[in-house]
Amino acid sequence: MKCVEQVRSRAAAMLAALGMCAALAPAAATAAYPEKPIRLIVPFGAGGTTDILGRVLGQKLGDALGQSVIVENRPGANGNIGSDAVAKAAADGYTLLFAADATLVINPSLYRQLPFQPERDFAPISRIAVVPLVLVANPAVKADTLPELVKLGRNGDSRLDFGSAGAGSMGHLVGERLNRATSMKMTHIPYKSGAQAIADVVSGQIPLLITGLAVADPFLKNGKLKAIAVTSGQRFPGAPTVPTIAEGGVKDFDSPSWYGLLAPAGTPAPVLEKIHSALAAALQTEEMKARMVELGAWPVVDSRAAFAELIKQDTVRWSQIIQAAGITVQ
């Protein structure tokens, strides 16, 4: 009998030891993170703003983590295909998503069915960049300031078309928000790309465009376009003479675009914190700040909780704009 009790005791001790080892294994793996290269999924094609910013971030994040960060483009469906790939990836910190705000906070209201749900399927880490959009006009437009444009836009004799990179794009929605805030009646003209839209404004086919400041900058410098206002709440250091929409009389108007870093939901908190710390270190260098401004962006670091809350708030805000304007995508 005593022998049986000893066997049972030893078995229990072994089971307890095995349980402790099983519990310690994930903690040990987390502490050693990252032990292999990290994939950074950019859900848009190469060469665009999202891709350029993602590659700059990937290099600096890899330096801060001491591990390679490999950028992988997964374009399609306005960012939905690449985002879904991350949502379904292993939650171990080795697959990350570099997302534009449109994919996370606009697409849920534009598409009847998404293969992922942003709030359920992702663990937000931080925004990394805020990108002011700019309202630009062909030089022939008889308005140089926002108050002059608003006056023109309220005149029933003047048709004001504005272009964007497509139905449901951030440029489209900001234009609709500006319509509501000013009682203007600008008509949206969707394009397949920002390049096509800007070409038509330069040629005079349409009078107005809302686009990224970095995209418009060469045409502003050579006089083929003129800037009316930036959509951010403050002037951008790279274009200090361009006033904000709020300065043009539209109180509290602040609608820049932003980009952020996310991981699959369920990624261990210590891993998320390690990525967040590395991200903060990378973005706070003077070199990175200068490079961001060159690309038409402000570097920014949020707490994980603040970024998650921003996604919720922006989802609600843009869904109201989308519903009021009756915007749909095919």
Q: CA–CA separation, 186 vs 178, rounded Å?
A: 9
Asked whether residue 52 falls in the same domain as residue 112, the answer is yes
Q: Label each residue of the chain as H, E or C.
A: CHHHHHHHHHHHHHHHHHHHHHHHHHHHHHHHCCCCCEEEEECCCCCCHHHHHHHHHHHHHHHHHCCCEEEEECCCHHHHHHHHHHHCCCCCCCEEEEEEHHHHHHHHHHCCCCCCCHHHHEEEEEEEEEECEEEEECCCCCCCCHHHHHHHHCCCCCCCEEEECCCCCHHHHHHHHHHHHHCCCCEEEECCCHHHHHHHHHHCCCCEEEEEHHHHHHHHHCCCCEEEEECCCCCCCCCCCCCECCCCCCCCCCCCEEEEEEEECCCCHHHHHHHHHHHHHHHCCHHHHHHHHHCCCEECCCCHHHHHHHHHHHHHHHHHHHHHHCCCCC
Asked whether residue 55 falls in the same domain as residue 95, the answer is yes
Is 151 within a domain? yes
Asked whether residue 127 falls in the same domain as residue 264, the answer is yes
Residue 262 Cα to chain centre, angstroms: 10
pLDDT score at 25: 46
Which one of 248, 271, 303 terminates a domain? 248
Is 10 within a domain? no
Is 28 within a domain? no
Asked whether residue 234 falls in the same domain as residue 260, the answer is no
* Residue-number span of the structural domain to which 277 is assigned: 38-131+256-325
Q: pTM for the whole thing?
A: 0.83
Which one of 248, 273, 305 terminates a domain? 248
Q: Which long-range contacts (CB under 8 A, 24 or more apart) does 19-28 make?
A: 26/268
Number of folded domains that form the chain: 2
Asked whether residue 136 falls in the same domain as residue 243, the answer is yes
Asked whether residue 189 falls in the same domain as residue 102, the answer is no
Q: CA–CA separation, 241 vs 232, rounded Å?
A: 14
Residue ranges in the chain whose pLDDT is less than 50: 24-25
Asked whether residue 140 falls in the same domain as residue 119, the answer is no
Asked whether residue 123 falls in the same domain as residue 87, the answer is yes
308: CATH:
3.40.190.150
The pLDDT tens digits of the residues spanning 115-127 come to 999 999 999 999 9
Which one of 184, 216, 248 terminates a domain? 248
Asked whether residue 93 falls in the same domain as residue 176, the answer is no
pLDDT score at 163: 95
Asked whether residue 191 falls in the same domain as residue 282, the answer is no
Q: CA–CA separation, 90 vs 102, rounded Å?
A: 24
Beta bridge partners of 243: none
pLDDT score at 30: 72
